[in-house]
Amino acid sequence: MQIRFGVAVGDSRRREADLCLVAIEVGIGRELGADRVIVGRFYGMRTSTNTGNFTQPVYRKIEDKDEAGKTRERYVEGTIEVLTRDRELTVGFEYEIVDVQDGSVVLGNSGTLRAAAHAIFTSAPVDGDVDDYCLIPPDMQKADPKRAEHVASDWGDRCGDWKLSDLIKRSRSQRSRGYESRYQDDWSLRGNARAVYLGDVPSEGELVRLAYCQVWEPLTRTLQELDGSEPRTVSGQRP
């Protein structure tokens, strides 16, 4: 079975445009020798962007002298204000598998695609050596491992895989320009997951592109369902 895919985007004059697209795709499908064509559309894109902040306790390593004049190393508690930005996007989809011989609809599906991103950045540059900062000092981590585990877990929930040192470095260079990503092909934005970026979130155009890419998952399931419901062909011929 050979299949061609065509898609329309938007709601304007929907019925008329859909019928026109079906006719065009059926005609092209016949010219290509396809058995069926897939005709569909994306519509109703909605986005929301929200900002927030939280105060993160941090510890900075310093060296000074004790009463005896000996150099000592200690950690001083402070805070960093972390700003956040969240962007969520949804877009509807629908498609139909159409037989090119008579134009009948064989099977179809519809649903909603989603993509979401989360960004972290600081309200001001952070001074000092990046390596002098930590979430939990070594002595506290050793004395109270459960607390250290809780702090690390809370940081991961809010900041993903980014380290405190990454956030501090970002605070000193191009804090409001673009974003930094650690994702190959932004895979984590798919399947309703949330990606964490440094600096800013991707634009609506980038998010909708990633949402569109997800349509192949339900489409593949539909084709598998169709393939499993039809009798097998003999010698490559249609029944």
Query: Cα–Cα distance between 105 and 99 in angstroms, integer?
Result: 6
pLDDT at 181 over 50: yes
172 against 50, higher pLDDT: 50
User: What single-letter amino acid sits at 5?
Assistant: F
Mean pLDDT, to the nearest integer, of 164-168?
A: 92
What total number of domains does the chain contain?
1
Query: Cα–Cα distance between 138 and 161 in angstroms, integer?
Result: 21
| Residue 236 maps to a domain | no
| Residue 238 maps to a domain | no
- Contact between 31 and 25 under an 8 Å Cβ cutoff? The reply is no
Rg (CA), the chain: 27
In tens, the pLDDT along 106-133 reads 889 999 998 888 899 988 888 889 999 9
| Residue 151 maps to a domain | yes
| Residue 12 maps to a domain | yes
| Whole-number Cα distances in Å, 204 to 75, 83, 213 | 42, 20, 14
Query: Cα–Cα distance between 158 and 85 in angstroms, integer?
Result: 11
pLDDT of residue 10: 47
Q: Does pTM top 0.85 for this prediction?
A: no
Query: Cα–Cα distance between 6 and 39 in angstroms, integer?
Result: 5
Range of the domain at 161: 3-229
**Average pLDDT score, the chain:** 80
In tens, the pLDDT along 2-47 reads 444 444 444 444 555 555 655 566 666 666 767 778 888 899 999 9
| Residue 207 maps to a domain | yes
| Residue 162 maps to a domain | yes
| Residue 47 maps to a domain | yes
86 against 182, higher pLDDT: 86
| Residue 152 maps to a domain | yes
